[in-house]
């Protein structure tokens, strides 16, 4: 996901990803090109704890980073821990502080003595460059460096208007260490959100092949402005996430109410500390568990808990809820979602069920074989998913019969328009793939405002589907009051005009 210069709500994801990429490229992989891609090619400068580590033009910066990359490759550098702190930001710049510990996995090839571990403190100043944010200044210091290792760091803070950034890092250090210890005892992410400071702290430990253990810490100030729902929460979960957040911010509950503890599952965009690469438009099921902490006046001051990756659990659930051939949802899943929706829907909103059947599907199987027929069914599902919302459910009921469940339909004409668009798209797809010209789609459409069981919705949609087949196939027909199954090849009673 590209974060543009003005997109402050999603800025945290861009800066976390870019800081992680730079640190890993320069201090672990030794990849100079990747490191330079994170820097402004015109304005970037570097400042170190010794004069030979200063660089004030592009060539000097490249030489300095090149030496760091070469050293990382020579000693087989591996990152042991990384703390990333989004400490200050405005519309024109952002300051990110990093504390880094690396370990050498092989001796220095040149025979120079080398410590087993190296510590660095890094300050990055990012600025918008076109549609991206790039590093325009960085400072590297070591805890035991000569002279004053924090001098240029404080200079950077003054330049951008931040106040005592080193004090921010050391604030409440003892309290934070408790969560770091807990995070090392599990593979989960431990979090603390400080309401007064609007600051989010996240801790995680990732265990690889021994002794490959990485400890990560992320601190995000101005959290509510820095992490926007658009970039953090899956579109289908945002309304529920916002509603849950409002409930959690309410005053202290009565004793014995049991609302202090909370557990929710959302599809969230993973950051690097979840042990996954942050990819565009990727959301992972995460279980958010925690407890609210109150002050003496009953105000919520902190949220403390853990975030558990439950994507594998939900993948297994999805496997049990989907059709093995087409990967559409199965009848059981559809019935469950319909039941849940009807139990909680608002009275002023409708929903729709579109029952679709492939015309002349048997002839496809007879002429081309079942494998080709299976491919046609799979292609139908792919086509339907491109036309409907992610919140709509495409389910296979059996054979060549499918149902699309559309939530929250405010205009009945939308269901007919979507049905007709599906018929056209399916016909085009079938023709492009060389299927017989008469292969098409018939759809029975039901739009309801009142809750109904699945059996009744299916009955009504099936009656409308029969009408579509009787009228020549390759069309959508809405269910209207008074429709019935045909008897002896004819409809049981006259039907009112279908209308628009």
Q: Catalytic residue numbers?
A: 400
Token output for 359: 């015309």
Instruction: Give the Cα separation of 182 and 202 in Å (integer).
Output: 12
Angle, alpha carbons 420-422-424 (nearest 5°): 70
Chain centroid to Cα 229, Å, comes to 10
Token output for 454: 């699945």
3-state secondary structure the chain: CCCCCCCHHHHHHHHHHHHHHHHHHHHHHCCHHHHHCCECCCCCEEECCCHHHCECCHHHHHHHHHHHHHHHHHHCEEEEEEEEEEEEECCCCEEEEEEEEEEECCCCCCCCCCCCEEEEEEEEEEEEECCEEEEEEEEEECCCCCCCCCHHHHHHHHHHCCCCHHHHHHCCHHHHHHHHHHHHCCCCEEEEEECCCCEEEEEEEEECCCCCEEEEEEEECCHHHHCCHHHHECHHHHHHHHHHHHHHCCCCCCCCCCCCEEEEEEEECCCHHHCCCCCCCCCEEEEEEEEEEECCCCCEEEEEEEEEECHHHHHHHHHHHECCCCCCECHHHHHHHHHHHHHHCCCCCEEEEEEEEEECHHHHHHHHCHHHHHHHHHHHHHHHHHHCCCCCEEEEEECCEEEEEEEEECCHHHHHHHHHHHHHHHHHHHHHCCCCCCCEEEEEEEEECCCCCHHHHHHHHHHHHHHHHHCCCCCEEECCCCCCCEECCEECCCCCCCCC
Side-chain-side CA neighbours of 224 within 13 Å: the count stands at 7
> Which candidate, 247, 246, 245, places its Cα nearest to that of 259?
247
- Asked if residue 211 has a cis previous peptide bond (ω within 30° of 0), the answer is yes
């Amino acid at each position: 996901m590209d974060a543009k210069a003005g997109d402050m709500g999603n800025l945290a994801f861009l800066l976390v990803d870019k800081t992680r990429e730079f640190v890993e490229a320069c201090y672990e992989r030794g990849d100079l090109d990747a490191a330079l891609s994170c820097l402004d090619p015109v304005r970037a400068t570097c400042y170190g704890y010794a004069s030979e580590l200063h660089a004030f033009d592009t060539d000097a910066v490249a030489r300095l980073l090149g030496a760091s990359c070469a050293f990382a490759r020579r000693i087989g550098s591996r990152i042991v821990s990384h703390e990333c702190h989004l400490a200050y930001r405005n519309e024109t710049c952002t300051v990110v502080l990093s504390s880094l510990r690396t370990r050498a996995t092989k001796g220095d090839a040149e025979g120079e003595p080398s410590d087993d571990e190296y510590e660095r403190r890094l300050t990055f100043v990012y600025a918008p460059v076109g549609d991206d944010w790039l590093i325009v200044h960085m400072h590297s210091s070591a805890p035991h460096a000569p002279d004053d290792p924090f001098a240029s760091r404080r200079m950077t803070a003054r330049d951008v208007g931040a106040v005592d950034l080193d004090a921010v890092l050391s604030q409440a250090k003892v309290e934070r260490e408790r969560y770091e210890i807990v995070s090392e005892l599990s593979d989960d992410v431990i979090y603390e959100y400080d309401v007064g400071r609007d600051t989010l702290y996240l801790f995680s430990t990732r265990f690889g092949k021994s002794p490959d253990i990485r400890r990560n810490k992320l601190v995000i100030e101005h959290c509510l402005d820095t992490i926007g729902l658009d970039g953090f929460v899956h579109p289908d979960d945002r309304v529920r996430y916002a509603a849950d957040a409002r409930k959690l911010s309410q005053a202290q509950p009565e004793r014995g109410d049991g609302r202090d503890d909370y557990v929710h599952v959302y599809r969230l965009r993973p950051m690097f500390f979840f042990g996954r690469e942050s990819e565009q438009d990727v959301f992972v099921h995460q279980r958010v568990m925690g407890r609210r902490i109150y002050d003496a006046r009953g105000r919520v001051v902190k949220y403390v808990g853990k975030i558990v990756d439950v994507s594998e659990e939900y993948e297994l659930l999805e496997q049990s809820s989907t059709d093995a051939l087409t990967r559409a949802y199965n009848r059981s899943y559809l019935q469950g979602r319909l039941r849940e929706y009807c139990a909680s829907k608002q009275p002023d909103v409708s929903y729709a069920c579109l029952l679709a059947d492939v015309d002349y599907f048997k002839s496809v199987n007879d002429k081309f074989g079942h494998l080709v027929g299976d491919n046609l069914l799979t292609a139908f599902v792919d086509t339907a998913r491109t036309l409907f919302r992610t919140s709509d459910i495409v389910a296979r009921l059996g054979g060549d019969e499918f149902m699309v469940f559309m939530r929250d339909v405010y205009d009945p004409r939308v269901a007919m328009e979507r049905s007709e668009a599906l018929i056209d798209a399916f016909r085009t797809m079938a023709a492009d793939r060389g299927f017989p010209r008469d292969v098409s789609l018939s759809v029975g459409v039901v739009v309801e405002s009142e809750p109904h069981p699945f059996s009744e919705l299916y009955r009504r949609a099936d009656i409308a589907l029969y009408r579509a087949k009787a009228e020549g196939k390759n069309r959508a027909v809405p269910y209207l009051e008074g429709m019935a199954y045909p008897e002896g090849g004819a409809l049981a009673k006259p039907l009112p005009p279908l209308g628009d």
